[in-house]
Amino acid sequence: MSTPHNEAKPGEIAKTVLMPGDPLRAKFIAERYLEDVKQVNSVRNMLAFTGYYKGKRVTIMGSGMGIPSIGIYSYELYTYYDVERIIRIGSAGSTTKDLKLFDLVIAQGASTNSSWSEQYHLGGTYSAIASYPVMEEAINASKKFGYRFKVGQVLSSDNFYGEEWEPWANMGILACEMEAYGLYCVAAQLHKEALTILTISDSLVEHAETTAEEREKSFTNMMDVALECIKE
């Protein structure tokens, strides 16, 4: 069934969904990698495409920016479209000199300054982690391709500007982004699978950054890795 945010018909969404934040990145991935592609959503310009990669059916859909946005889209995909696995692919700012521009981060867990998990009435602080089977697949794919990557914790921040990242880095946080915590919480709530794979677009330590065009079209290593993790 369709939702207020997704016009896809039953059966038009695959069991695995790759979710970049930018819907134009979703379009780029679909056009670059997939065969027999069909656009299945354009509501609010949050583009979604379903096609085949190496014979495996997959959907690519934008998530928008921030935990509330990916929280809505992931909940609907898991609940109304029977999606089993969502892999967020996005950009992040590194908080360590060990990560350079274009390096990958496989987010084993996510911390946050958001109050997102309060909705679950847990009486404590929820530790949001990735699903191990898909994380292991991503690690193996990264090794197979020979890509530079690290596995560890990221910060899902509600702040794009002005985040005090140094205390988080002192606790071992590798990079800052804005969505992983929400995705991991929704997946845990619904007993589904989730992973976040990030490309370093900025170094908060060395004050280096990529261009907007590079963020849309040049972060192909994480796309290669994510596409190796399709679950049919």
Catalytic site residues? 202
Provide the β-strand partners of residue 7.
none
Q: Which residue, 37, 23, 87, is CA-closest to 230?
A: 87
**134 contacts 16 by C-beta, under 8 angstroms:** no
Q: Which residues contact 154 (CB under 8 A, 6 or more apart)?
A: 92, 105, 107, 109, 110, 111, 173, 174, 175, 176, 177, 180, 196, 198
**152 contacts 105 by C-beta, under 8 angstroms:** yes
